[in-house]
Amino acid sequence: MGALDGRVALVTGAASGMGAAIAHAYAAEGAQLVLADRDADRLTAAAAELGAEAHALDVTDADAVREVVDGVAASRGRLDVLVNCAGILTEVPLLEMDVETFDEMIAVDLRSVFLCSRFAAPHMVAAGWGRIISIASQLALKGGESLAHYSAAKAGVLGFTKAAARELAPHGVLVNAIAPGPILTPMIDGLSEEWKAAKQAELPLGRFGRPEEVAPTAVLLASDPGGTLYVGQTLGPNSGDVMP
């Protein structure tokens, strides 16, 4: 018996990094997976590996998100778990940041969490059971230089999570966030070796995490009874970077 046997789970950002690792972990626990990502080529490869349904989707496109979410619920007869993992990271000092850069970050890393949750939640409420898990970042808690837009978007995800959790828990829908520390995915490939060395030295654990070390937290939050008491929480697989 898998911890997620029979659950229909939609994972965004599933073509790469943590989204792909969560998809693998969910598949291993028996979930029926639906993967979404805007990178159609990598998504097709990831879905083929798992025999999963795949949707090329830009999570900033409200109509497209609604179509995919409602389509999954209609064709599968249910949508039990939503994992909001799609995201981008850019580094720009605040004094040089233009409005478009800020707006794009908010659209991809925050507004998308609202869109996917907004359209998924009614299906979960109707069923009386659901889990919404959003990948924030420890930078939501501590901030980061040249990351005002990213830190703001991720802090917004935590606020959204708490408010949605209060509204939806009475309907059996549990909403939580995961705020990872630095994780070895393509997202941080571009950062300088100097930054990586200095950052690692700062971490109590002395090393970055791997995507497969974050995925079990997403399994826990989606499972029963492991996840049943988490409501509006932020779990922090972060190598000790932040201890709230």
Q: Which residues are catalytic?
A: 150
User: Residues 37, 23: contact at Cβ < 8 Å?
Assistant: no
Task: Restricting to residues 24-43, name those near ligand NAD by CB under 6 A.
Answer: 37-39
Which segment (66-74, 119-127, 167-175, 184-192) binds ligand NAD by CB under 6 A? 184-192
Nearest approach in angstroms of CB 29 to ligand NAD is 19
Whole-angstrom distance, CA of residue 210 vs CA of residue 83: 18
Number of residues that bind ligand NAD (CB under 6 A): 30
**Please, which residue, 12 or 234, has the CB nearer to ligand NAD?**
12
Nearest approach in angstroms of CB 66 to ligand NAD is 14
Which segment (1-9, 11-19, 71-79, 122-130) binds ligand NAD by CB under 6 A? 11-19
Q: How far is CA 97 from CA 44, 72, 102, 110, 234, in A?
A: 34, 38, 7, 18, 28
Nearest approach in angstroms of CB 227 to ligand NAD is 19
Q: How far is CA 72 from CA 29, 35, 125, 142, in A?
A: 20, 11, 15, 37
Whole-angstrom distance, CA of residue 163 vs CA of residue 159: 6
Amino acid (one-letter) located at 237: P
Task: Restricting to residues 68-97, name those near ligand NAD by CB under 6 A.
Answer: 85-89
